[in-house]
Amino acid sequence: MVTDVINSNDLHKVDPVFGQMSFDNHEQVVFCNDKDTGLKAIIGIHNTVLGPALGGTRMWDYKNEWEALNDVLRLSRGMTYKSAITGLNLGGGKAVIIGNAKTQKTPELMRKFGAFVHSLSGKYITAEDVGMTTADMDTVREVTPYVTGISESLGGAGNPSPITAYGVFMGMKAAAKYKYGSDVLEGKSVFVQGIGNVGEALVEHLVDEGANVTITDISQERLEAVSAKYGATIYSGNDIYAETMDIYAPCALGATINDETIYKIKAQIIAGAANNQLALEAKHGPILQERGIVYAPDFLINAGGIINVYAELEGYDRKEIMRKTENIYNTTLEILNNAKTDNITTNQAAMRMAEARIEARKKENSK
Ligand X SMILES: NC(=O)c1ccc[n+]([C@@H]2O[C@H](COP(=O)([O-])OP(=O)(O)OC[C@H]3O[C@@H](n4cnc5c(N)ncnc54)[C@H](O)[C@@H]3O)[C@@H](O)[C@H]2O)c1
The footprint of ligand X (CB under 6 A) covers: 160-161, 164, 193-199, 216-219, 222, 251-253, 273-275, 302, 305
Which residue in 40, 82, 94, 105 is the catalytic one?
94
Looking at the Cβ atoms of 47 and 164, the one nearer to ligand X is 164
Looking at the Cβ atoms of 101 and 115, the one nearer to ligand X is 101
Looking at the Cβ atoms of 277 and 289, the one nearer to ligand X is 277
Residue from 120, 121, 140 nearest 56 by CA: 140
Shortest gap between Cβ of 318 and ligand X (angstroms)? 16
Shortest gap between Cβ of 297 and ligand X (angstroms)? 12
Residue from 296, 328, 323, 312 nearest 167 by CA: 328
Sort 223 into a burial class: Cβ within 10 Å, 0-12 / 13-18 / 19+.
middle
Q: Taking a C-beta distance cutoff of 8 angstroms, is the pair 41, 116 a contact?
A: yes
Shortest gap between Cβ of 148 and ligand X (angstroms)? 12
Looking at the Cβ atoms of 253 and 322, the one nearer to ligand X is 253
Shortest gap between Cβ of 304 and ligand X (angstroms)? 7
What does the alpha-carbon distance between residue 73 and residue 20 come to, in Å, rounded to a whole number?
Answer: 9
Q: Is 94 part of the annotated catalytic residue set?
A: yes
Shortest gap between Cβ of 64 and ligand X (angstroms)? 21
HEC-encoded secondary structure of the chain: CCCCCCCHHHHHHCCCCCCCHHHCCCCEEEEEEECCCCEEEEEEEEECCCCCEECCEEEECCCCHHHHHHHHHHHHHHHHHHHHHHCCCCEEEEEEEECCCCCCCCHHHHHHHHHHHHHCCCCEEECECCCCCHHHHHHHHCCCCCECCCCHHHCCCCCCHHHHHHHHHHHHHHHHHHHHCCCCCCCCEEEEECCCHHHHHHHHHHHHHCCEEEEECCCHHHHHHHHHHHCCEECCCCCHHHCCCCEEEECCCCCCECCCCCCCCCCCEECCCCCCCECCHHHHHHHHHHCCCEECCHHHHCCHHHHHHHHHHHCCCHHHHHHHHHCHHHHHHHHHHHHHHHCCCHHHHHHHHHHHHHHHHHHHHHC
Shortest gap between Cβ of 160 and ligand X (angstroms)? 4
Looking at the Cβ atoms of 53 and 198, the one nearer to ligand X is 198
**Cβ-proximal residue to ligand X, closest one:** 196
Looking at the Cβ atoms of 253 and 280, the one nearer to ligand X is 253
Shortest gap between Cβ of 182 and ligand X (angstroms)? 27
Catalytic amino acids?
94
